[in-house]
Amino acid sequence: MDITRLPAEARQRRSSEIREFLRSRRSRLTPEDIGMPSGGSSRRAPGLRREEVAVLAGVGVSWYTWLEQGREINVSADVLEAIARVLRLDGDEREHLYLLAGLNPPQAQPAERRISPELRRIVDGWLPKPAYVIDQHWNLVALNTAARRVFGYGSGDHNCLVTFFTSARYQAAVLHWADAARGIVGKFRADAARYPDDPEFGRLAADMCAVSPAFAEIWAEHPIGGAWQDKKAINHPEAGDLVFEYTSLPLPDLPGHRLLLHTPAPGTGTEARLTDLMAEPEPVGA
């Protein structure tokens, strides 16, 4: 994101935040923490000096001073990584630094995603009903066996938005697909508005417009919002029609992430068909 295009008030607020953030992270470290001699002075102020951070990060002292002062300077991801390493920032702090500097944080790899054992037990404990977790960009980061078998979801870097509009199997399975598609786009656009400094939403939307005429048409209509507590109906190739009531729960410890829990809709026969499906052995290679 080009910070210079922000309103003056927003730029001043961002400058103040990055200044206070970097100072606070310097103050919690000592030279001994990072293997540097303290110089033997008992009168030095606590924390690392700007010069020490600059030297260890491999940048000029003046440049680092300007960064900490919140000046409008060019910042690269490599330099931010070096500063994050010197200041020993954790994942949340590192992401925060990138956003304050106007850069998109690197996407976490699957092994880095912070799905706690407790959350994993909730997802798996929802069996035989489907449950899964998505991040703010709708990447699937945790799922149980029922979600995989019912919806055909995979793992790794799978993205629910991409699958909905590009998977022929999924499009054939979803009942009332056109109505569902409009709701999906409205929810994604509403999510994008919550993260105006995150260019990943724009990249995803541009990619989807390029590969899916249906997405491009709905996106151009600017639908906004949609229910995160609703029904989902599919025609499963083995189990037949399955209708679920689902609800989405925000996860405070994982900002932007949601836990989606599905329950068979009463009076639809879904519970019995789901039980039969989950009782069958999972196909080899699924």
Reported for 27-33, long-range contacts at CB under 8 A and 24+ positions apart, including other chains, are: 29/87, 29/88, 33/88
Closest CA to 100 of 211, 210, 15, 187: 15
Q: Positive or negative CA dihedral for 51, 9, 5, 2?
A: positive
In the chain, what are the domain boundaries? 3-100, 111-279
Q: Is the pTM of this model over 0.75?
A: no
Question: Token digits for 115?
Answer: 């799905």
Return the pLDDT at 107: 58
pLDDT band at 284 (very low <50, low <70, confident <90, very high): low
pLDDT band at 101 (very low <50, low <70, confident <90, very high): confident
Which amino acid, 245?
A: E
Q: Which CATH superfamily includes the segment(s) 3-100?
A: lambda repressor-like DNA-binding domains (1.10.260.40)
Mean pLDDT, range 146-174, rounded to an integer? 83
Which segment of 72-81, 155-164, 212-221 scores lowest on mean pLDDT?
155-164
Q: Which residues are paired to 224 by β-bridges?
A: none
| Contacts for 61 with CB less than 8 Å, ≥ 6 apart | 50, 51, 54, 55
The CATH code for residues 111-279 is 3.30.450.180
